[in-house]
Amino acid sequence: MTAGPLDIQTSQGNLRDLTACAPAYGPEAQALLARIQAVLPQFNDGFLARFYDGLHGREETQAILARLDSEDVARLHGKQAQHLERLLSPEISAAEHYHHAKRVGRVHEMVGIGLPTLLDAYHRYRQQVQDVVAACALTPAEREFFDRTLMQRVIIDVEGQGVAHHDVGLEVASAISRVHRQVQEAETLPDLLQGVVEALLAVDGIVACFFLRPDARGALQIEGIGGESGRRYVESMRRQEIPFIQIDADSASGQGPTGRAWRSGTIQHCVSYLRDAAVAPWREVGATLGFRSSVAVPLLDDSGQSFAVLTVCSNWPGFFVTGTRGSMLLYLQQVLGHAILRCEQGAVLPVAVRENYRQRLMGGGIEMHYQPIVDLRTGAVSHVEALARLRGADGQIHAPGSFLPALGRSDLLHLFREGLTQACGALRDWERCGPAPAMSINLPADALTQDAYRDALLQTLAREGVRPDRIQLEVLESRDPYDLDRRDASIAALQRLGVRIAQDDLGSGHSSLLRMDNTPFDVVKIDQGLVRNAARDPKRALEFIFHLTRLAHGFGVPVTVEGLEDRGLIEAVAILGADHGQGYVVAKPMTAAEFPAWHAGFRYDVDVHTPRTPLGALAGYLIWDQQRAALAKWPDLVARFTRFPCLVRRYIEESGLRGSELEALLDENHRLAIDGGAPEAFQRTKQELVALLGGAWTRQRASRSAA
């Protein structure tokens, strides 16, 4: 019944008390067994033929035997003959027998032979052995003694194999526990994948793991890998010795279990790597690496659609179809998909690209660039944000969006430490030329609860001779940490030293608003995604920025708006009350050497009282309308308020638009506001004003982009 080598490492269980079996292993038993073993060879062929004929009658063993090729079957017959010889051996001790039974039991568990099948097989053993015994002319007493001896040996054999089945089940349970811990604790996709594949590879019988996602061409790129066999398999794929796996059903390389799993959203098996026609494109390489079976687990998003596949390979046929492994696979599908979606994923990165990024990171490829942040009231540069770049071996500069998804927790700590060191050096160089702005640097999501980041910060500042009050840490939290008290204590300790803490994602989700309520940030940064939405819907974007700014100011926290790409945007957010602005309209990120000359030549000419862009005028009108609505219960105050020149009027005068459609529409809008008796007409003119100003800015922006 064994389908592979028996010299494998097994887990150590507690040996049973074998003293009760000692009589069966004494001199009398040994002499009797020696007589029987002497005639055993002449019965081997018939014994094996009848034994396997009987096994073919069971559905379970029939399925297992069908997975084997001719070499497997021949090897299996040989192992079965050896097992019978060992069962009847006069030399083997009880302890040796028990240990051997555990090894055989582990093999049986690997290929899917359950304990009911084993018990049936031992029943057939006893029947077949009777033919051997009959040829030995035993006396009735010897026959009774032999039956008792054989039964004791069978009991030891069954017990050893049962313990082996139990041990393998414990290993699977341990792997599930380790995966659960990774799902709960991992913050980055590389860390999560690494932890999961290490947990799976700890299961005896699993030799390779792959995490795959499709690229734009429909090829499933391997982004995570486990096991030396897995790495060699990926190398063969990179050398084009085997094809990339496709999601397309019409492609031959899309017919394997991984492609089928992607399309169906259900777990797909290859029970025999050597006999399954669907894996033919990869069979030769896989077989060389010892792959005998595989399973593909599709990972599903909230809508039930596949977004990734976890493929796992074993060196045993049919390894993944047993109950314990089946439960493990269902667990992986249920929890791993949600955990991966929770992590920042980014673009699909083949494993070779991921490893190249990490090698460059550790090999001195980090370069910090610096983007100024301007005070929207005074025009002074208040901060400079240090932004990480990675220079490839070919000299190409990679932005964080490209390489950050490839980094795990230790990589991110290295990036922070190296980036802070470079930023401190830049700050010292600038201070030699005169007064310099403070430095801002980013932290990953869970850094505030990790002592390693605190130690790296304080050690670097001390070594570089930079005061803590010259540093601002920008924290982007993808989710709240488990230990909120520890996070808040860490923030308070850093603030006592003078370090400022900024929330870097206001407006990216309601959780960020809750964090602003319960976390003492020194500054918040409005997510640049809101600013980018201005191109699609100027009014809605400006209203979001206005209300978020008022919310932050209600907590006494200043606001920085990121992503300001033209004059209209910086003018609008300044008018809406934001404190600081950052973006290409101020300056693009630059090297440390470029900053002093840029700083000396920078001039800020935004006047929040006199807009010079349509978007600035629109921001002014939205504020005017908010103030008018607040006075709606007092018509006299509305009339008096409306007679004062608003920012749209000042824009018209500054831009030479007297007598224009815009001025006529503004006059009508103000007249209806004073009259108060035609709210529908007022709303109509309001919408037309908003559309006119927003459209003018959109056209200006498009014209500049085309130029």
Whether 637 and 699 share a structural domain? yes
Note whether 547 and 443 are same-domain residues.
Answer: yes
The pLDDT value recorded for residue 67 is: 74
Token pair recorded at residue 163 = 């313990």
In a domain? residue 473: yes
Do 548 and 629 sit in the same domain of this protein? no
Q: Which H helix or E strand runs over 473?
A: strand 471-475
Domain limit, last residue, from 144, 173, 202: 173
Whether 548 and 677 share a structural domain: no
Whether 12 is in a domain gets the answer no
When pLDDT is cut at 50, 70 and 90, the band that residue 44 belongs to is: low
For residues 72 and 66, give the distance between their C-alpha atoms in angstroms, rounded to a whole number. Answer: 10
Instruction: Give the distance from CA 114 to its chain's centroid.
Output: 36
Q: What are phi and psi of 298, to 5 degrees?
A: -75, 135
Residue 536 falls within a domain, yes or no? yes
Q: Which two structure tokens, joined as six digits, stand for 521?
A: 């940030």
Higher pLDDT, 397 or 63: 397
Q: Is the pLDDT of residue 463 over 80?
A: yes
Same domain, 195 and 121: no
**What does the pLDDT read at residue 478?**
57
Question: Tokens representing 297?
Answer: 């687990």
Identify the pLDDT of residue 485.
Answer: 78
Res. 509: pLDDT tops 80: no
Cα–Cα distance, 479 to 485 (Å, whole number): 15
- The CATH code of the domain that includes 228 is 3.30.450.40
| Domain C-terminal end among 173, 206, 223 | 173
Lowest mean pLDDT among 298-302, 323-327, 427-431, 646-650: 323-327
pLDDT recorded at residue 473: 95
Out of 150, 173, 196, pick the residue that ends a domain. Answer: 173
DSSP string, 440-466: EEEE-TTGGG-HHHHHHHHHHHHHHT-
Note the pLDDT of residue 533: 86
pLDDT: which is higher, 168 or 14: 168
CATH number at residue 79: 1.10.490.10
| pLDDT of amino acid 41 | 73
CA 605 to mean position of chain CA atoms: 45
Residues 276 and 340 in one domain: yes
Residue 456's pLDDT band (boundaries 50, 70, 90)? very high
Torsion of CA 25, 27, 28, 34, to 10 degrees: 80
The whole-number average pLDDT for the span 28-34 is: 80
DSSP codes, 36-96: HHHHGGGGHHHHHHHHHHHHTTSHHHHHHHHT--HHHHHHHHHHHHHHHHHHT-SS--HHH
Closest CA to 446 of 477, 412, 411: 477
Mean pLDDT lowest among 5-19, 61-75, 79-93, 245-259: 5-19
| Mean pLDDT, rounded, for 185-214 | 92
For residue 381, being part of any structural domain is answered with yes
- Looking up residue 469, the CATH number of its domain turns out to be 3.20.20.450
Domain holding 642, by residue range, is 614-706
pLDDT digits (tens, 9 = 90+) for 545-591: 999 999 889 889 999 999 999 999 999 999 999 999 999 999 999 99
What is the per-residue pLDDT for 172? 92
**Same domain, residue pair 107 and 155:** yes
In this prediction, residue 3 has a pLDDT band, given cuts at 50, 70 and 90, of very low
Q: What is the mean pLDDT of residues 173-188?
A: 90
Which of these, 295, 303, 372, lies nearest to 595 by C-alpha position?
372
Position with higher pLDDT, 476 vs 239: 239
* pLDDT, average across residues 405-415: 91
Same domain, yes or no: 233 and 309: yes
What global pTM score does this model have? Answer: 0.78
The pLDDT score that the predictor gives to residue 411 is 93
Do 322 and 222 fall within a single domain? yes
Do both 380 and 330 map to the same domain?
no
In degrees and rounded to multiples of 5, residue 381 shows phi and psi of: -80, 115
pLDDT score, position 527: 81
Q: Is 27 a domain residue? A: yes
How far is residue 229's CA from residue 209's CA, in Å, rounded to a whole number? 9
Q: What is the DSSP string of 141-166?
A: HHHHHHHHHHHHHHHHHHHHHHHHHH
Alpha-carbon gap, residue 479 to 510, rounded angstroms: 11
Per the domain annotation, does 88 fall within a domain? yes
User: Are 527 and 668 found together in one domain?
Assistant: no
In a domain, 216, yes or no: yes
Q: Is residue 290 part of a domain?
A: yes
Q: C-alpha angle 416/421/423, rounded to 5°?
A: 90
Q: Is residue 278 domain-shared with residue 156, that is, in the same domain?
A: no
At 274, is the pLDDT very low, low, confident or very high (cuts 50, 70, 90)? confident
pLDDT tops 80 at residue 120 = no
Categorize the per-residue pLDDT at 516 as very low, low, confident or very high, splitting at 50, 70 and 90.
Answer: low
Number of domains in the chain: 4
Of 45-49, 218-222, 491-495, least confident by mean pLDDT is 45-49
Is residue 438 a contact partner of residue 382, using CB atoms and an 8 Å limit? yes
